[in-house]
Amino acid sequence: KRQGYLREELIGKSVRMLYVNKKEFDKVGKLTSEQISDEGTGSVETQWITKNGEILDIILSLTPLDIHDLSKGVTFTVLDITSRNIAEKALEESEQLFRSLYENSTIGIYRTTPAGKILMANPAAVRMLGYNSFEDMAQLNLEKTGYEPAYSRKEFKNRLEKNGIIRGLESAWIKKNGETIYVRESAKAIKDKKNKIIFYDGTFEDITASKEAEQKLQSSEARMRHLLNATTTIIYSIKVSGKNLQPEWVGDNIRQLG
């Protein structure tokens, strides 16, 4: 029926007409004469073509009516595996895409357990944290080390326990050489059927440069504010409005005017 033919269109016709590759028909014949006589049955994967031109992937199984006398006939069983093959191909392509993204991504990708064991880390993660290999990095126990004292892993775990997900969490980690790296992290808690967290899947990006620039800016603004507040000189700017000059005060030392 899947072939698109009526029964009367096939009766009396050679099965060869259904094969995409006619040489496959000869392969089935060889299977019949050699393999079936030894094993009692046999199968081969091939392709048939429907009446409307659709290509089907099939497994053709053959069983003789009499294993001792193949001339009495052979029963053919056809299993359509087209959908299965399409699904397997899509899965393979998806896995290849994930592998490519995982290997070539410029952001860190990881999987860790609540106990602090690193199960997976992509090359970018290994590189950003200063390790030579994943195996080297996997020796790290995140429950004992890896975080700056001001940034608690406990907070990370509590937020995942409560919300199941974290987006844009900023923290400071310690590289293998002891240097500090600032990261922006997103993670998701993965649970088992009993709703118990079994590991965390996450990504992170290195924001050290922007974090240090922000800290320098804040430090510079604080110094400027201190100078403005400590100076004995009255500082103000003039804003011109029409023909009038209107003073606009800068700094807190206006109090010197009483």
Mean of the pLDDT values across residues 165-179?
92
Give the Cα separation of 152 and 160 in Å (integer).
Answer: 13
Q: What pLDDT shows up at residue 108?
A: 95
Q: How confident is the model at residue 117 (pLDDT cuts 50, 70, 90)?
A: very high
- When mean pLDDT is compared over 40-44, 179-183, 254-258, the highest value belongs to 179-183
Counting residues of the chain whose pLDDT is more than 90, the rounded percentage is 35
Per-residue pLDDT tens over the stretch 59-99: 888 777 766 666 676 777 888 999 999 999 998 898 888 88
Mean pLDDT value across residues 155-167: 92
Q: Max Cα separation, the chain?
A: 121
pLDDT over 80 (residue 24): no
| Mean pLDDT, rounded, of the chain | 80
Residue found by looking up tokens 């700056």 in the block: 148
Average pLDDT over residues 2-9: 73
pLDDT beyond 50 at 210: yes
Is 182:208 a contact under the CB 8 Å cutoff? yes
State the residue for tokens 């997976």. 120
In this model, does residue 36 exceed pLDDT 80?
no
pLDDT band at 258 (very low <50, low <70, confident <90, very high): very low
Q: How many CA atoms lie within 13 A of 96 on its CB side?
A: 6
Burial class (CB in 10 A: 0-12, 13-18, 19+), 215: exposed
